[in-house]
Amino acid sequence: MKAQRIFLWLVAAMFFLCSVHTRGLRRCLISMDIHHIEETFQEIKKTIQAKDTFQNVTILSTPETLHSIKPLDVCCMTKNLLAFYVDKVFKDHQELNPQILRKISSIANSFLYMQKALQRCQEQRQCHCRDEATNATRIIHDNYDQLEVRSAAIKSLGELDVFLAWIDKNHQGPSAA
Amino acid sequence: MWFFYALIPCLLVDGVAVLPAPQNLSVQSTNMKHLLMWSPVVVPGEIIHYFVEYQGEYESLYMSHIWIPSSWGSPTKDPECDITDDITATVPYNLRVRASLGSQTSAWSTLQHPFNRNSTILTPPVMEVTKDGFHLVIKLEDLGPQFEFLVAYWRREPGAKEHVKVVRSRGIPVHLETMEPGVAYCVKVRTFVKAIGRHSPFSQAECVKVQGETLPLALALFAFVGFMLILVVVPLSIWKMGRLLRYSCCPVVVLPDTLVMLFFFPFGMTLTSC
């Protein structure tokens, strides 16, 4: 009986810690204007996705990646994917159209700001990377590397709506005001 | 000596001096509206055009050769450029301007310190407090989609609790409270910009009051007087109408005395015709 009670307490404590972790990320990202980034992307989505020549392939949306991420891994996964876009995708994409370049610049600079905000949160709370998050990130990088660089970059840009919707879903919470 | 001759092509273009670069670049930013300004380049009798470009922190870190033409300010004839639509993230932005006259262009002149929109000056918002009957209504100025308003209102009496309402709609009247007659209600408001995580100062408080018992009493009195008038006037009118009808249908005819004496002696008779 005593052992059962202790076990239940441990489960409750773990559950509480998990929710605090996820709430922590939500509080982190609440001060960012994700909807503005989504609106900016919507303006160029059609043009970007029309340039994707490998429509049957996905980089972000495989079953083992974003959609299988558990709440405990959300912070790490967000950090990794922001780095993926900032360090890889935006650099590999060469945009000549000034209108599109303006929008991509806006998104890239917003991601940079999100990275800094997440960094500040990480210093206060743990944003520990478990194997699940590390493996999911590695799969995304592998998917990217299997394609030619420019095709991979344009496809990843086209899947920004998937990433932003995922952040939004994991970030639902009250306004900072 | 050869070094001096070698420099001459750099100083002259087609025999004409190169345009001077614009000077004194600065950004004035209020309520998330950002204006880049500079001292005008003056060439007598000529109209100078200016080209403005920007570079976010991402570009400066990862692709420093990339500069993006400003969406509104390039080219412009005025020595200023609204860069609000260019500064879309809360990171430092480099800005540069150059002058152009025909085929001549000046060197780029760059803003000394990168501009970050979190340094914008936030001013207390303009509000209009009105009464709609007993309803306390407030109308707020439209500052754009990045602003939300924190409206604080309270009854002006000791120990009153302050209520706070978050308003995201712009330019539309907002109902705060139904007021109690004879009590003053005060309102003040400030803005919050989520993108930079900052509040403006509060506006000056404005107080309004709905008049007390006088208005309902006056209405009641007026209603009573009206009712009494109706009670008196209506029966009187009906009675008068009745008499009028009776006399128009069945008028009473009275014979003059002389005829009465002549025809009906010794009695006077009244003939009634129907």
Averaged pLDDT score across all residues of chain A? 83
* Residue B88, burial from CB neighbour count under 10 angstroms (0-12, 13-18, 19+): buried
Q: Which of A102, A120, A175 has the highest number of chain B CBs within 10 A, making it the mutation to test binding with B?
A: A102
Higher pLDDT, A78 or A9: A78
At B47, the pLDDT band (50, 70, 90 cuts) reads: very high
- Check if B104 contacts A (Cβ < 8 Å): no
DSSP B143: -
What interface predicted TM-score (ipTM) does this complex get? 0.82
pLDDT digits (tens, 9 = 90+) for B57-103: 999 999 999 999 999 867 899 999 999 999 999 999 999 999 999 99
Instruction: Answer whether 0.80 is exceeded by the pTM.
Output: no
Q: Does B24 touch chain A (CB under 8 A)?
A: no
Whether B194 and chain A come into contact, CB under 8 Å, resolves to yes
Integer Cα distance of A126 and A28 in angstroms: 12
Among candidate residues A133, A150, A131, the one with its CA nearest the CA of residue A54: A150
Q: B152 is written with which tokens? A: 């604080």
Listing DSSP states for A30-81 in one string gives HTS-HHHHHHHHHHHHHHHHHT-S-TT--SS-STTTGGG--GGGHHHHHHHH
Instruction: Look up residue B118 and give its DSSP letter.
Output: G
Of B56, B69, B150, the CB nearest to A109: B56
Mean pLDDT computed over A23-30: 55
Local structure of A145: helix, strand or coil: helix
Write the pLDDT tens digit of every residue in B144-181.
999 999 999 999 999 999 999 999 987 889 999 999 99
Residue B114 has pLDDT above 50, yes or no: yes
DSSP letter at B167 equals E
CA distance B150 to chain A (A): 8
Say how many CB pairs under 8 Å bridge A and B.
62
pLDDT at B11: 45
pLDDT at B258: 75
pLDDT tens, A111-142?
999 998 888 777 766 678 889 889 999 999 99
List of chain B residues whose C-beta atoms are within 8 Å of the C-beta of residue A177: 148, 150, 166, 192, 194
Tokens of B189: 């408001």
Mapping DSSP onto H, E and C, the string for B200-216 reads CCCCCCEEEECCCCHHH
Confidence class for position B196, pLDDT limits 50, 70, 90: very high
**pLDDT for residue A75:** 86
B202 Cβ under 8 Å from any chain A Cβ: no
